[in-house]
Amino acid sequence: MKVVVAPDSFKGTFTAQQAAMAMAEGIAQARHGTDIALKPMADGGEGSLDVVLSGTAAQRVSMATVDSYGREITAEYGWDNGTAWIELAQASGLHFLPEFLHHPEQRNQWAMRASTWGTGQQWRHALARGAHTIFFMIGGSGTTDGGFGLLSALGALYRFQKEVVPGTDARQLALPVQIEEVETVRQLLAPIKIVVATDVTNPLWGPRGAAAVYGPQKGLSPAGVRQRDEELRRFGEALVRAAKTADASVMEEEGMGAAGGAAFPLRVLGREVRLARGADLMVTATGLAEEIAQADIVFTGEGATDAQTLSGKVPMAVLNLCRQYQKPCIVVSGHLGEGAEQLKTLGNVWLEQATPRGATAQDIQQHGYQWIAEAAARALLLATSGA
């Protein structure tokens, strides 16, 4: 029997790799001699780079840059013969927001500062190496700067009253800057094929925009949301004017508000830019379809499975492949929530909850790995009881 194990991370507790290993232990205990292929997955957010590095020929590239607030860090990206895999969370992730910021106004001030400039430095590094294709995985963002920092790092200049304004601090978006050297950036990006991994369909600004919908979880106060939304509108219009080849409607396109608008300048100035579902991109990159085609049964899972899973999360991408190749699939998740049962309508699907009712966060940290292994074993025995 060949089993493919392809879970997402159990966010906050286990990486996708750890979850896959736990499931594999349970499978091996339940059925000795099973051929198990580990294919940890991701959805384009934090942890996606590790999935790429474990599932492709890409090599890890480390470099010095800064985080969202200008603090020096070492960040990584993947490199495979001219193809770069850049995970925005490496340099501009939400996890860089200090945990000690308990006062809402403190959090707002930090959130207003957060810039994608450090991620832009990764782009420059990859381009200097000769990148011809860049996969930009933008989940887990801690910024809402409309790509202000990234564009600056790529070579654009911001000028306010004859003075050059740095792109390292997004509070500079409050200034009505003039954007220069746009053609320099356009020429830099012209030869590059860009694929942006995101499941977000929000526009750059407005009631459904980057600031209004995602700003609060990144620390913006209600006043900060209103201010940043207006700044994004003004910045977007300024870039469109400077580019001369686009109109303001590009700000309303689906996905321009993803990761606080980080991909917006790429869309305006890049020659070949497309958006792709993060989970689907990971499936393609890691060759999961080929593995599933040869499998007898497939495991997937995530921290919590519910109705949102059907909207394109990792388990749904795996289930779609299982349906395509007519393979049974077991979904082992930390928690099965409302709507999870809908997955069974796809046919040949088993659901198994790993976490016992009433378990605390501390319990999960202590026993979660074993619970995942036990759930995988239970589910495998149930699914194959008639085999």
Degrees, nearest 5: CA angle 247-249-253: 130
Tokens of 120: 């832009």
Compute the distance between CA of residue 34 and CA of residue 27 in angstroms, rounded to an integer.
8
**pLDDT for the residue numbered 387:** 52
Pairing, β 72-80 against β 83-87:
antiparallel
Residue 144 one-letter amino acid:
T
**pLDDT for the residue numbered 119:** 98
Architecture in CATH for domain 48-276: Alpha-Beta Complex (3.90)
Indicate left, alpha or beta for 337 from its phi (over 0: left) and psi (-120 to 50: alpha).
beta
Work out the angle between the directed axes of helices 278-286 and 314-325 (0-180°, nearest 10).
50
**pLDDT for the residue numbered 322:** 96
Same fold, 2-42+287-383 and 48-276: no
Residue 171 one-letter amino acid:
R
Tokens of 297: 């049964």
Q: What one-character DSSP code corresponds to residue 174?
A: G
Compute the distance between CA of residue 219 and CA of residue 108 in angstroms, rounded to an integer.
5
Q: What residue spans define the domains of the chain? A: 2-42+287-383, 48-276
Compute the distance between CA of residue 280 and CA of residue 219 in angstroms, rounded to an integer.
30
**pLDDT for the residue numbered 386:** 60
Degrees, nearest 5: CA angle 343-333-196: 75
Q: Is the dihedral of CA 276, 189, 80, 95 positive or negative?
A: negative
Residue 335 one-letter amino acid:
H
pLDDT tens digits in sequence order for the chain, 387 residues long:
999 999 999 987 899 999 999 999 999 999 988 999 999 999 888 889 999 998 889 999 999 999 999 999 999 999 999 999 999 999 999 999 988 778 889 999 999 999 999 999 999 999 999 999 999 999 999 999 999 999 999 999 999 998 999 999 999 999 999 999 999 999 999 999 999 999 889 999 999 999 999 999 999 999 999 999 999 999 999 999 999 977 889 999 999 999 999 999 999 999 999 999 999 999 988 899 999 999 999 999 999 999 989 888 899 999 999 999 999 999 999 999 999 999 999 889 999 999 999 899 899 999 999 999 999 999 999 888 865
Compute the distance between CA of residue 304 and CA of residue 384 in angstroms, rounded to an integer.
24
Is there a contact between 211 and 232 (Cβ–Cβ < 8 Å)?
Answer: yes
**pLDDT for the residue numbered 312:** 80
Rg (CA), the chain: 22
Degrees, nearest 5: CA angle 209-210-214: 115
Pairing, β 133-137 against β 193-197:
parallel
Degrees, nearest 5: CA angle 266-153-67: 105
**pLDDT for the residue numbered 41:** 94
- Polymer length in residues for the chain: 387
Number of other residues whose CB lies within 10 A of the CB of residue 245: 10
Kindly report the CATH class assigned to 2-42+287-383: alpha beta
Q: Cα dist. 232→70, 112, 156, 237, 258 in Å? A: 21, 12, 17, 8, 13
Q: For the purposes of burial, counting CB atoms within 10 Å of the CB of 64, is it exposed (0-12), middle (13-18) or buried (19 or more)?
A: exposed
